[in-house]
Amino acid sequence: MSGLSCHCRSLRVAHVSLGLDVGGQERLLVEFARHADRGRHNLVFVSLSGRGKLAQAIEKLDWPVLALDEPPGLRPRMILRLARVFRDHEIDVVHTHDDKPLLYGSLAVKLARVRRHIHTQHHGSLPQITARQRRVAAWAGRMPHAFVCVSRDSARYTVETGLPARKVVTLHNGIDLAKYAYQGPCAGGPVVCVARLSPEKDIATLLHAIAALAAEAPKVRLEIAGDGPLRTELTNLARTLGIAERVRFLGEVKDIAALLARASCFTLASRTEGISLTILEAMARGLPVVATAVCGNPEVVLDGQTGLLVRAGDTGALAGALVRLWQNPDEARRLGRAGRRRAEAHFDIRAMVADYERLYQRGAAPRRTTRAETANSR
């Protein structure tokens, strides 16, 4: 009988993402690695593509990273490879992140008989996707035990596409507030934007806004941190608008906290957004935020209380909001202080990770391990 006595091991959780390059979702994976309850959870990170720039950061936190090096396109054999990974690592919970991992992961979970599947949709609504893509996403989205949206706006959209409301959970993103101590706006500092240089971030409208406010606020400068496929096009646009000397394209910036420390305000002109980590970081630093009133942004930035919201694509409104904060430093400081308080109250990374871990625990009790198995694993 003694050989059959047993104890519960920690839950084995596999995070599955498309890649591990620098981006909001990928940076959150590093935070999952850093703030996991190690007494109750044992993690492995699976990238469908390559290792990416963040794999080393996760490994430094003593969690393994598996890169499956998937070529572009739809690869059905990836389902079998994932199922094998789940079986080999005796995974109890699979946590997929965004679309392709959801499609592959949902089927691999069934093949490997994983006890629990949590999915997070990190982006907001995507109006550009086709009807067929929407149907496939809705079909795959029915398979996880819980479908997590990072904003209430995204949750509403998800239910409208056909997912059962009982499966949809809203969990806002969080940040490590300790890394972004309150400082407040730097008078005369640049307007800062941190974003991937891709179409949905609409940096072009931001450049037009900077050009439009030249007469009222000729000393306003813009610094853009981030890289992407539109960098050359946007650099040329700044030159064409005559503002090249007032706009700096910084590329990838490692120390975002230091960049925000010299800013007068933060801005994001996105046409679609989940819950922006860069907005949260700016609020934690005590910066007023000028952002578009799209998707999850109004759930973070309270218009007139922690920042200013404008219509997406509205150059005049964006320029007006930036000039308003530039010319009214007292208002900028008031909004920044309120933003810090809001970040502390609602967007702490530790609370976010704990919420996810509660989802893992529901119905995912780990397989009980016999003493003999424990001895053999030593």
Per-residue pLDDT of 270-300, as tens digits, reads 999 989 999 999 999 999 999 999 999 999 9
126 and 211 in a single domain? The answer is no
The CATH number of whichever domain residue 90 belongs to comes to 3.40.50.2000
pLDDT tens readout for residues 13-64: 999 999 988 677 788 999 999 999 999 999 999 999 998 889 999 999 999 9
244 and 256 in a single domain? The answer is yes
Q: For residue 18, what are the domain limits?
A: 2-174+349-377
142 and 246 in a single domain? The answer is no
Contacts of residue 208, defined as CB under 8 A and 6 or more positions apart, other chains included, come to 241, 315
123 and 222 in a single domain? The answer is no
Q: Look at residue 160 in the predicted model and tell me its pLDDT.
A: 87
268 closest CA partner among 229, 322, 216 = 322
d(CA 289, CA 47): 33
Query: pTM to 2 decimals?
Result: 0.85
What percentage of the chain reaches a pLDDT higher than 70?
Answer: 89
311 and 331 in a single domain? The answer is yes
151 and 182 in a single domain? The answer is no
pLDDT > 70? residue 5: no
325 and 354 in a single domain? The answer is no
Q: Look at residue 25 in the predicted model and tell me its pLDDT.
A: 76
Mean pLDDT of the chain: 90
Whether the CB-CB separation of 173 and 275 falls below 8 Å is answered with: yes
Q: Structure tokens of 336?
A: 């920044």
Q: Look at residue 377 in the predicted model and tell me its pLDDT.
A: 34
Q: Look at residue 376 in the predicted model and tell me its pLDDT.
A: 34
Which residue has 């995974």 as its token pair? 91
170 and 182 in a single domain? The answer is no
**Domain count across the chain:** 2
Name the DSSP class of 269: -
123 and 104 in a single domain? The answer is yes
158 and 222 in a single domain? The answer is no
C-alpha distances (whole Å) from 50 to each of 17, 45, 65, 255 are 10, 12, 10, 24
